[in-house]
Structures are given as structure tokens and as C-alpha cells.
């Protein structure tokens, strides 16, 4: 008969007992972060975004000059060790203007998106939660809004209310709001059919509680992803509007308006276009990479 | 050539993920003869479905790996343990020809197994023309015959899957699986999604067809009742291992492994009245952290000092009845001899 | 008064594109204090709708639901909110019925927070831990999330949540169908222990006849929205009268090689409960169906011993 291995057995039991006391703890949010960390492109996007934010915060320390330091003696100098991005037709240092530009494009894009999501979110939540006729009325209203091309709509608002950052933000927020509210409504409707909503009703949760504690947190994944992409779109729209002269006007160093004022110099001093264009591209690309990664990480197919 | 149509020998399958290695299947052996039915019972996560997917060559890549072992179809090995891309692609190509023709599988959910935008008859005909050199008309004719065979009127050839109820859909899945008269049919929980009265119909149908076509049937289920109904032999799977294997008479009349006994005791019975169900505490070991000793020992109510800190081999309790438990070690069995005392269940 | 729940002529119809779906059609039953009523039937027979209607998660089309002598279909929302803690529910799939973004302690505390049972959080925490002990959840899981737990533990959270407000009635909607047999046995034992300790009444909805036999005192067998047989559990299994119940019973695969039953294989499948005609709904599949079965719907009739069957020819078929 087999020999007895009692001491070894005891050691195994001890180890098992130790392992048994340990419980893995990890909230769905932390799990998503773990997945996001594995995605190199998304992390690259995130790093770029953080750098851009830091640049915006510390702009006065980074930029060698102010935004409107016109020195007519050094007009249209190509990039050199002194002016690494060259100077524009008024002799301003492009590098400084680009640095200060982060203080404009990024926050304006963000604010537009926040307003669009907040407004759209409230309407979408009501529509999705109430359903039936309320849903119908709200969504048909959105349909009408959405049938106007967003850029045209923004142009109309800017044209009737005049130029300026506030009007620009208003125009972009309102014109993108219907599309954003659709995303939120769809996300809530998906979550609404889950059993845990019914179980919340069974323990007597009020409508507001069901919406705030059960539906919205679980619908956050697709909403967050859409949010990131929307910031990118908003930045592009801000730049486009400024480019056609309806958004932020010079001398504010908005990248789109910088592009606009340099368009005549395309042949003589192309570098005046390169750098603002490049910055728009990098920002939007970083946001999109991060958004893609976020979507994969927040995939609802949780274990 | 032997009369064993399908033989699985010492199969070990791992899933390699970022979080670690899951030892899903650890040393499984069994064999099925023509017209014979072998049942595999066990809890969720015991590795039953992994066994089926490995036989079908459908292990999810890149995580799933066959570490070692053989799967013999009519004596020919069909599993690739090499990690070479070339060898694996070669194996894939071979498996594509075998699947649907020599080996078929029925999945648990009939809805997701059917293409929703193709009429059901055409889905059957497609399998037939894929594996046989027949004319379109001949394939259609044979598809209609298959439909009649599973109890669906051939007039419904042009109907789409959503026009059928759950039980009818499962019949169509069976018709597709049997269309090319496969040597081996693997059924993974084929009736779990169905109601009992429909389950009875489908089981009766499968039993009849199996005898008609002389197919080797591997029945994967969690329901001991289904096993008693249509199986000839049965294996109880726990943490990726066969803990007990034998004919259904062995398993049902003389369940010997403590886990098998626990399974029977936990079932509410229709014939007996019991105040309280017997249940054992705890959970199946995590396949990512299997213990070095008997994987059931922690939950076992019959553990004693015979249990040594080594994974027990299968012991032959009576001819053809194997149990993976030290209680059944023959008196001359020496632990130092390692696997010398072990006999494969397939013998 | 010995009945906690008295349901009379309960109906729930849904308008669908092709007519009216009779999900629950004229169902009546009683449930006594401290007892378990089993509701058995196949998918689509309306048993889940019935359970949810009893808790007013779905508003009935007509009929009475008397909970402790009060008809809850007519009282207003405020009055019902006050009653709600006394009637709770346990759901089938513990994964989908728990909010994935709440930890175990939050899940269990949720009903207590909603009803503002405790003023300070220390008391609340104490009660949550107490409840975890009651349902056999180790305290170390207090901060874990549902996706990290197995099915059995998740269902224990569901039970703890249902118990939190000290209910008198719990509607269990297939509470063990998604679980493996060993875990199923643990949960069934837990439910029975809780019933004994706290005098709970259960309405136990399931498709599994062996489970319902184990746990119930009385059983209602449903077919397409109607109750077709209703009696004490022992009586039902000793004297199965309705041809559908007989077929259902014989179709269960028995995990034993001895005393195998003679199989009754029914033809066809469930017909649809949309715009049903006035006939016996089981007639198209019934082995004994005659002309009369297709022309009039049989009523539940008492054939003695509190055993009610809805079949025109129950006496002939069973040679009573």
C-alpha cells in the first residue's frame, strides 16, 4: 500500500488555506483600466493628450514670446534655431502661437462636447426612460434638428449672433447635440432591458434611482467612447469654422484661424501652414486612438 | 483497424491567456465504437466543451493549445500538438475536410447555429454539396430526405430559421449534422435549451437516427437523466479529469467516486421523498491554480490518510469501471511506481 | 386567516400586432403562510408573467391579488410602496439580475438604503454583514463585484437582497435553473432553512418538476396561460390526472436505470397564446382529444381531495 506523506499533505493544506483567505477585488472600472493599459496605441494617444494638457497649463513658461509679438523686421522667416517653427507675415513667432493655441482648441472642443452631451443626455434619458409618446416627441424633434447639416447650422447661428467664442461654442454644441443624444439613448435602451433594472424595481427603487444608479453607470462605456470621438470632431469643427472666418478671429492663436490667415502664403511660406495643420492632426489622432482603446477596454462583454 | 471509431488518448489542453495558464483538460482518455454513445457529465467549467472543441479542431486560437495526447479517428491521429504555424495550418486544412463530413457537432443553442438569412433546406443542401460531388438537384433531394427523416415536412424547405420553434430548429441542426452521414457526432448539451416534452422528442429522434446511421455519438451534458436515457458508457468529468468512467450500469448502479456520489445525492428525486438535499461545500478548483494532489480532495467527504499529495491515477474497480480515487488503489499498488499502476480507460 | 396571498381570476393580456396575447388567462390560487406554492410549466406558459404580476412589476389586465387581505391591484402607489418590503423577488439569472457596477455590500445595502431603514452607516454595515452570514456568504467577499463570483455566490447575493427588508412573501423565479446540481442543492437547502426560521412564504416558479416536488407544498401546473391542474404536491405525484401533466412527468429523464417510466411522447409543440379560440388549449397535442375538446374550454373542476383539473374527460381517461 502507498506510503503516507502526512507532512507534505499538511504543507499543501496550509498553502491552500492561505490562498483561500485571499479574495481578488477589482471593480469593473479597474478591470477596464487593466485592459486599456495593454493597448499600446491607446496609451500613446493618452500620453499625447496629457502632454497637450500640460503644454496648455504651462504655456507661459514654454513659449518664448507672447501671442501677438509683432516684429515686422523678421517677417516670414523659415524655421531656424531661433524660431523653430519660423515666423508669420507679421513677424510673430509661430512656435509661441502654437503653444498658446493648445489653450484654445482643446478647451473649446471639450466645452462644446460637454454642453452637447449634457443637453442631449438629459433629453435622451427622459426619452429612453419614459418611452412611448414622450420618446417619440423628443426623438422626432431631434430628427428635425439633425436634418440640418451641422456645419451649416453652426454657420447660421454664428452668422445671426455674430462671431466670438461664446457664439461658436453655442453653435457647435447645439448642432451636434441631436447626434450625441441618440448615442446616449441607444446606450440606455440597451441597458434598460437587463434583468437588474427589474430587480431594482422589485426592491422598490424610484425612477430617478433606477436611472442614476443602474442605467447610467452601466451605459457609461459607449457614452465615454462617443465623448472622446466627439471632442475630436468638435476640435475639427472649431478649426473649420475659424478657417472660414466664422469662429475665433485673429489675433487669438486658434490653429484653424492660423491656417486661414496663412492660406495666401501657401506658395511662398508653406511652413506657416504645416505646423497648425500638424497640431490639429496630432490632437485629433490622439483622441481617436484613445477613443478606440477606450471602446475595446469598456467592451460590455465583461466576464 | 479496430472497431473504435473515435479514440481520445491522454488529451491535455491548456488555454494560455495574459492572466496565466488555464489547465482546462488534464489527461482525458475514452473511446467510442460505431453505434455507441458515450456521455460526458460534469459541472460548468469542468472542461467538457473544450474536449468537444478539440475533437472538432475548433479550439479558440491563439489561447487554446493541445499540449499532448492523441485523438484517433478510425485509427488516424487528427490532433496537432506542434506549435509550428505550418503544421497547424496543415492540420486546419485537414480538419476543414473532416468537419461536417466525418465529424459533426450539435451545439446547445440552435438559433445561433443556423444562418438566419438562408432557408433551412438550403443550409442542409449546402453541407451535402460541400462534401460530396453531387448535382444541385441531387443535393436538394437529399436535403429534403434529411428533413423528412428528422420529422419536418419537406414542404418547409424554403422556410427561414425564424419561422421554426426551438425544438424544430434543433431538428434542423441535427439534419445538417447528419447530412453527410458522419462517423462521429458530438452533441454539446443538445437539449438544454429545450422544454422537457420537446427534449423527450429530440432525444428519441437522436437515438433512432444514431442506430440507423450507426454513428458514434459523444453526448456532453450536465443532466444525469439524459445520460441514463441514451448513453452506453459514461465519464464523469471534474476539473478537466475523468474521475470515473464505465458503462452506465457501473455509473448508475455502483457510483464509486465521492464526486459522482455527491452528484447523485444532490439531485431532487421524483421517486423518493427527502427532507433535505445532500450537498458538498466548496467549488471546483480554479483551472488556473489546480492543486498538486487530488483536485477533489478539499471538497471530499471521504478523504482519509490513503490520500497522498499526488494526483491519483485511474484505478480499475471492476472490468471496464475506472475510478480516480486512492480508496480503490489495489493493495499492491506502490506510489513510487508512478503511473505503472494506471490503466487507460480506453483499454 | 391562513392565506397570505389569494389570487382571483388574474388576467394579463398584451396587445401584439396580430391580436391579443393571453399571457396569463384567468388564474386563481391561494398561498398559505409559511408554505411554498410551485408554479410549473414550459417556457411561454406565462409563469414568469404571473410571478411579476403578483408583485405588481407588471400591471394586470383584470383580476384580484389579495396580499394579507388587501387587494394590491386597486391601492395607490404610496400605499403599495409601504407594502413592497413585505413582498420580494429572487431572479433566475443571478448574473444579469445584479448591477455589475455595485459591490456585494452595495447590492445588499440597496433595499435598506431605498427604504431608509438605518440612520447611520455603521448600523447599515452591521445589517449587511448579518445578512451575508444568513445566506452563507463569507465576509471577505464584501467588496467584490458580481463578475468575480461564481453562480452560487451570486444567487446568494440575490437571496440576501430579497431578505434585507424582512419580507413575508418571496417570489422565486427559476432561482436554481442556471446553477449546477451541487450548487442548486445548496441554494434549495438555504431557501428551505430560511423558510423554517422565518416563516417565509414562497411562490416558486420553475420548469423543473423534480425541484418543485422537493420544495413545494402545493403545485399549479400551467399551460398557455391557464392553470390546468392544481393540488397538494403529494397528491399530484401519486395521482397525476391531466394528460399534459402525465406527459410532462413521463418526459423527465430519470437519473436511474431502475424503475424507468413509460414515455409519453407528445406530438407537436406549444401552440401560440395569441387570440386563443374557446377550446382546450392542450387539445392539439393531447393523446385523448375528441371533438368536444376543440369546441369548448374545460373549466378547473374539483374532483375531490382539493384536486382541481381542467379536462373534459379526466374521469374517463383516469378511469375514476
Cα–Cα distance, B2 to C286 (Å, whole number): 47
Cβ atoms of C160 and C137 closer than 8 Å: yes
**Any domain includes A42:** no
Cα–Cα distance, A45 to A50 (Å, whole number): 9
**B326 three-state secondary structure:** helix
State pLDDT tens for residues C40-72.
Answer: 998 888 899 999 999 999 899 999 999 998 899
Residues of B within 8 A of C195 (CB-CB) are: none
**Any domain includes C78:** yes
DSSP C92: S
Residues of chain A that touch chain B, judged by Cβ-Cβ distance less than 8 Å: 1-6, 8-9, 12, 16, 19, 38
Q: In the numeric block, which cell numbers belong to residue A29?
A: 472600472
> B304 vs A10, B238, B301, B338, CA distance in Å?
13, 20, 9, 20
H-run or E-run covering B317: strand B315-318
H-run or E-run covering B75: none
**Any domain includes A185:** yes
Is the pLDDT confidence value at B340 over 50? no
| Residue of chain A nearest B282, judged by CA positions | A20
Helices (H), chain C: 47-54, 77-83, 104-114, 121-134, 151-163, 181-198, 209-215, 233-238, 243-251, 291-295, 314-317
**Residues constituting chain A:** 303
pLDDT at A18: 57
In this structure, the strands spanning B37-41 and B20-33 are unpaired
Q: What would the DSSP string read from start to end of B268-293?
A: --SSS--SS-----S-PPPTTS--SS
Cβ distance A2 to B292 less than 8 Å, yes or no, reads: no
Cα–Cα distance, B281 to C153 (Å, whole number): 12
Residues of chain A scoring pLDDT < 50: 1-5, 302-303
Looking at the DSSP assignment, which residues form a beta bridge with residue B41? B221, B236
Rg (CA), chain C: 21
H-run or E-run covering A158: helix A150-161
Cβ atoms of B241 and B28 closer than 8 Å: yes
Mean pLDDT of chain C: 89
Chains with ≥3 CB–CB distances under 8 Å to A? B, C
In this structure, the strands spanning C36-40 and C218-223 are parallel
**Any domain includes C217:** yes
Cβ under 8 Å to C: A residues 120-159: none
Residue C111, Cα to own-chain centre: how many angstroms?
Answer: 22
In this structure, the strands spanning C226-232 and C218-223 are antiparallel
Is the pLDDT confidence value at B343 over 60? no
pLDDT at C162: 92
Cβ distance A4 to B305 less than 8 Å, yes or no, reads: yes
Best C185, C192, C194, C264 member to test B by mutation, with max B CBs in 10 Å, is C185
Min Cα separation B310/chain C (Å)? 25
**Any domain includes A124:** yes
**A292 three-state secondary structure:** helix
Min Cα separation C43/chain A (Å)? 17
Residue of A17, A236, A225, A231 lying closest to A114 (CA atoms)? A231
Cα–Cα distance, C102 to B201 (Å, whole number): 43
Is this prediction's ipTM beyond 0.90? no
Cβ atoms of B256 and B323 closer than 8 Å: yes
pLDDT at C206: 92
Of A1, A9, A19, the CB nearest to B309: A9
- Higher per-residue confidence, C156 vs A28: C156
What total of structural domains would you count in chain C? 1
Q: What b/e string do you get for B12-44 counting C-beta neighbours within 10 Å, with b at 16 or more? A: bbbbeeeeeebbbbbbbbbbbbbbbbbbbbbbe
Cβ under 8 Å to C: B residues 31-60: 43-44
Burial of B344 per CB tally in 10 Å (0-12, 13-18, 19+): middle
Percent of chain B with pLDDT over 90: 29
**Cβ atoms within 10 Å of C260's Cβ, excluding its own:** 11
Cβ distance C259 to B271 less than 8 Å, yes or no, reads: yes
Cβ atoms of B161 and B111 closer than 8 Å: yes
pLDDT at A43: 92
Cα–Cα distance, A92 to A252 (Å, whole number): 12
B330: left (phi over 0), alpha (psi -120 to 50) or beta: beta
Give me the CATH number covering residue A118.
Answer: 1.10.3720.10
Contacts of C199 (CB under 8 A, 6+ apart): C33, C34, C168
DSSP A270: T
| First-last CA distance in chain C | 34
Residue A73, Cα to own-chain centre: how many angstroms?
Answer: 41
Cβ distance C99 to A303 less than 8 Å, yes or no, reads: no
- Higher per-residue confidence, C302 vs B193: C302
Cβ atoms of A297 and A35 closer than 8 Å: yes
Residues of A within 8 A of C88 (CB-CB) are: 202-203
**Residue range C242-263: average pLDDT?**
84
Cα–Cα distance, C80 to A153 (Å, whole number): 49
**Any domain includes C289:** no
Domain extent, residue A169, equals 48-66+103-297
Contacts of C316 (CB under 8 A, 6+ apart): none
**Residue range C265-293: average pLDDT?**
83
Q: In the numeric block, which cell numbers belong to residue A165?
A: 467664442
Best C48, C79, C81, C99 member to test A by mutation, with max A CBs in 10 Å, is C99
DSSP B135: -
Q: In the numeric block, which cell numbers belong to residue C134?
A: 444568513
Helix axes C121-134 and C151-163, enclosed angle (nearest 10): 130
What total of structural domains would you count in chain A? 1
Domain extent, residue C105, equals 3-240
Cα–Cα distance, C239 to A33 (Å, whole number): 60
The values of phi and psi at residue A40, to 5°, are -65, -40
Cα–Cα distance, A28 to A38 (Å, whole number): 16
Distinct helix (H) and strand (E) counts, chain B: 10, 12
Contacts of A67 (CB under 8 A, 6+ apart): A92, A96, A97, A100, A251, A252, A253
Min Cα separation C258/chain A (Å)? 36
Say how many CA atoms lie within 13 Å of B300 toward its Cβ.
23
Cβ atoms of B345 and B245 closer than 8 Å: yes
Cβ atoms of A157 and A171 closer than 8 Å: yes
State pLDDT tens for residues C161-217.
Answer: 999 999 999 999 989 888 888 889 999 999 999 999 999 999 999 998 999 999 999
Residue of A108, A121, A122 lying closest to A154 (CA atoms)? A108
pLDDT at C7: 94
Is the pLDDT confidence value at B2 over 60? no
pLDDT at C170: 95
**Residues constituting chain C:** 320
Residue of B174, B180, B187, B255 lying closest to B32 (CA atoms)? B187
**Any domain includes A147:** yes
Instruction: Record the pTM.
Output: 0.84
Give me the CATH number covering residue C217.
Answer: 3.40.50.300
Residues of B within 8 A of C266 (CB-CB) are: 197, 200-201
Edge-to-edge strand list for the sheet holding C70-71: C19-32, C3-16, C62-67, C70-71
**Residue range B233-246: average pLDDT?**
92
Cβ distance A204 to C85 less than 8 Å, yes or no, reads: yes
Cβ distance C98 to A196 less than 8 Å, yes or no, reads: yes
Give CB contacts under 8 A, 24+ apart, made by C240-244: C241/C303, C241/C307, C241/C309, C241/C311, C241/C314, C241/C317, C241/C318, C242/C282, C242/C309, C242/C310, C242/C311, C242/C314, C243/C282, C243/C286, C243/C287, C243/C288, C243/C311, C243/C317, C244/C282, C244/C285, C244/C286
The values of phi and psi at residue B105, to 5°, are -135, 140
Of B263, B270, B274, the CB nearest to C252: B270
Amino acid at each position: 500500500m502507498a506510503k503516507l506523506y502526512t507532512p507534505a499533505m499538511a504543507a499543501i493544506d496550509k498553502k491552500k488555506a492561505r490562498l483561500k483567505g485571499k479574495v481578488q477585488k477589482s471593480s469593473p472600472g479597474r478591470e477596464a483600466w487593466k485592459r486599456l493599459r495593454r493597448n499600446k496605441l491607446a496609451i500613446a494617444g493618452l500620453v499625447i493628450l496629457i502632454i497637450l494638457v500640460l503644454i496648455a497649463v504651462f504655456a507661459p513658461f514654454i513659449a518664448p514670446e507672447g501671442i501677438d509679438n509683432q516684429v515686422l523686421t523678421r517677417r516670414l522667416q523659415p524655421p531656424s534655431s531661433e524660431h523653430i517653427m519660423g515666423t508669420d507675415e507679421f513677424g510673430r513667432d509661430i512656435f509661441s502661437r502654437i503653444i498658446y493655441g493648445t489653450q484654445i482648441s482643446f478647451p473649446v472642443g471639450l466645452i462644446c462636447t460637454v454642453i452637447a452631451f449634457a443637453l442631449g443626455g438629459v433629453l435622451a434619458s427622459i426619452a429612453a426612460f419614459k418611452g412611448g409618446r414622450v420618446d417619440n416627441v423628443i426623438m422626432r424633434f431631434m430628427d428635425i434638428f439633425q436634418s440640418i447639416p451641422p456645419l451649416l447650422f453652426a454657420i447660421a447661428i454664428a452668422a445671426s449672433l455674430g462671431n466670438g467664442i461664446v457664439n461658436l461654442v453655442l453653435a457647435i454644441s447645439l448642432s451636434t447635440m441631436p447626434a450625441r443624444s441618440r448615442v446616449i439613448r441607444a446606450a440606455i435602451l440597451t441597458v434598460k432591458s437587463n434583468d437588474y433594472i427589474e430587480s431594482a424595481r422589485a426592491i422598490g427603487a424610484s425612477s430617478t434611482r433606477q436611472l442614476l444608479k443602474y442605467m447610467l453607470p452601466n451605459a457609461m462605456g459607449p457614452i465615454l467612447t462617443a465623448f472622446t470621438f466627439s471632442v475630436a470632431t468638435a476640435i475639427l469643427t472649431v478649426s473649420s469654422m475659424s478657417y472660414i472666418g466664422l469662429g475665433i478671429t485673429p489675433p487669438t492663436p486658434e490653429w484653424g484661424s492660423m491656417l486661414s490667415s496663412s492660406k495666401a502664403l501657401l506658395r511662398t511660406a508653406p511652413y506657416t501652414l504645416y505646423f497648425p495643420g500638424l497640431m490639429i492632426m496630432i490632437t485629433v489622432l490622439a483622441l481617436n486612438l484613445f477613443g478606440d482603446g477606450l471602446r475595446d477596454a469598456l467592451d460590455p462583454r465583461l466576464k | 483497424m479496430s472497431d473504435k471509431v473515435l479514440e481520445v488518448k491522454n488529451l491535455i489542453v491548456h488555454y494560455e491567456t495574459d492572466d496565466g495558464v488555464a489547465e482546462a483538460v488534464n489527461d482525458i482518455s475514452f473511446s467510442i465504437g460505431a453505434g455507441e454513445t458515450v456521455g460526458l457529465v460534469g459541472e460548468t467549467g469542468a472542461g467538457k466543451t473544450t474536449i468537444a472543441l478539440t475533437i472538432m479542431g475548433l479550439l479558440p486560437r491563439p489561447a487554446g493549445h493541445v499540449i499532448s495526447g492523441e485523438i484517433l479517428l478510425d485509427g488516424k491521429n487528427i490532433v496537432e500538438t506542434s506549435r509550428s504555424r505550418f503544421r497547424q495550418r496543415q492540420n486546419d486544412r485537414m480538419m476543414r475536410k473532416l468537419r461536417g463530413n466525418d465529424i459533426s457537432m450539435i451545439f446547445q443553442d440552435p438559433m445561433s447555429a443556423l444562418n438566419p438569412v438562408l432557408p433551412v433546406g438550403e443550409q442542409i443542401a449546402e453541407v451535402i454539396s460541400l462534401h460530396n460531388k453531387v448535382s444541385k438537384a441531387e443535393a436538394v433531394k437529399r436535403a429534403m430526405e434529411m428533413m423528412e427523416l428528422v420529422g419536418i415536412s419537406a414542404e418547409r424547405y424554403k422556410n427561414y430559421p425564424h419561422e421554426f420553434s426551438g425544438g424544430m430548429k434543433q431538428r434542423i441542426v441535427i439534419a445538417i449534422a447528419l447530412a453527410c452521414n458522419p462517423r462521429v457526432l458530438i452533441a454539446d448539451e443538445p437539449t438544454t435549451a429545450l422544454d422537457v416534452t420537446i427534449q423527450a422528442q429530440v432525444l428519441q429522434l437522436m437515438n433512432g437516427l444514431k442506430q440507423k446511421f450507426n454513428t458514434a455519438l459523444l453526448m456532453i451534458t450536465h443532466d444525469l437523466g439524459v445520460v441514463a436515457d441514451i448513453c452506453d458508457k459514461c465519464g464523469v468529468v471534474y476539473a478537466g479529469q475523468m474521475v470515473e468512467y464505465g458503462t452506465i450500469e457501473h455509473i448508475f448502479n455502483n457510483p464509486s467516486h465521492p464526486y459522482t456520489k455527491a452528484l447523485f445525492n444532490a439531485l431532487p428525486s421524483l421517486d423518493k421523498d427527502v427532507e433535505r438535499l445532500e450537498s458538498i461545500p466548496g467549488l471546483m478548483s480554479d483551472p488556473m491554480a489546480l492543486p498538486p494532489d487530488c483536485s477533489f480532495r478539499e471538497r471530499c467527504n471521504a478523504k482519509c490518510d490513503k490520500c497522498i499529495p499526488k494526483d491519483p491515477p485511474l484505478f480499475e474497480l471492476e472490468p471496464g469501471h475506472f475510478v480516480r480515487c486512492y480508496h480503490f488503489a489495489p493493495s499492491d499498488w506502490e506510489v513510487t511506481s508512478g503511473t505503472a499502476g494506471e490503466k487507460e480507460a480506453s483499454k | 386567516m391562513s392565506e397570505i396571498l389569494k389570487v382571483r381570476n388574474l388576467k394579463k393580456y398584451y396587445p401584439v400586432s396580430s391580436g391579443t396575447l393571453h399571457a396569463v388567462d384567468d388564474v386563481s390560487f391561494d398561498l398559505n403562510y409559511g408554505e411554498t406554492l410551485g408554479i410549473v410549466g414550459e417556457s411561454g406558459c406565462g409563469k414568469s408573467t404571473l410571478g411579476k404580476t403578483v408583485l405588481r412589476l407588471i400591471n394586470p389586465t383584470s383580476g384580484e391579488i389579495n396580499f394579507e387581505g388587501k387587494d394590491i391591484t386597486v391601492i395607490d402607489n404610496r400605499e403599495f410602496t409601504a407594502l413592497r418590503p413585505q413582498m420580494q423577488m429572487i431572479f433566475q439569472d443571478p448574473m444579469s439580475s445584479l448591477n455589475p457596477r455595485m459591490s456585494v455590500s452595495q447590492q445588499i445595502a440597496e433595499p435598506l438604503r431605498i427604504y431608509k431603514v438605518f440612520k447611520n452607516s455603521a448600523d447599515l454595515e452591521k445589517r449587511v454583514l448579518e445578512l451575508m452570514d444568513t445566506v452563507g456568504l463569507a465576509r471577505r467577499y464584501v467588496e467584490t463585484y458580481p463578475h468575480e463570483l461564481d453562480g452560487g455566490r451570486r444567487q446568494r447575493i440575490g437571496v440576501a437582497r430579497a431578505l434585507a427588508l424582512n419580507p413575508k412573501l418571496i417570489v422565486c423565479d427559476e432561482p436554481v435553473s442556471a446553477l449546477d446540481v451541487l450548487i442548486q442543492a445548496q441554494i434549495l437547502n438555504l431557501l428551505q432553512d430560511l423558510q423554517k426560521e422565518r416563516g417565509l412564504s414562497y411562490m416558486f416558479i420553475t420548469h423543473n418538476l423534480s425541484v418543485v416536488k422537493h420544495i413545494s407544498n402545493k403545485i399549479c401546473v400551467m399551460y398557455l396561460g391557464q392553470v390546468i391542474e392544481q393540488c397538494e404536491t403529494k397528491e399530484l405525484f401519486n395521482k397525476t390526472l391531466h394528460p399534459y401533466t402525465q406527459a410532462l412527468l413521463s418526459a423527465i429523464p430519470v437519473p436511474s436505470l431502475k424503475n424507468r417510466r413509460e414515455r409519453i411522447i407528445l406530438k407537436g409543440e406549444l401552440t401560440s397564446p395569441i387570440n386563443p379560440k374557446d377550446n382546450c388549449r392542450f387539445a392539439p397535442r393531447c393523446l385523448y382529444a375528441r371533438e368536444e375538446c376543440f369546441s369548448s374550454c374545460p373549466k378547473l373542476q374539483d374532483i375531490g381531495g382539493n384536486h382541481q383539473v381542467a379536462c373534459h374527460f379526466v374521469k374517463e381517461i383516469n378511469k375514476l
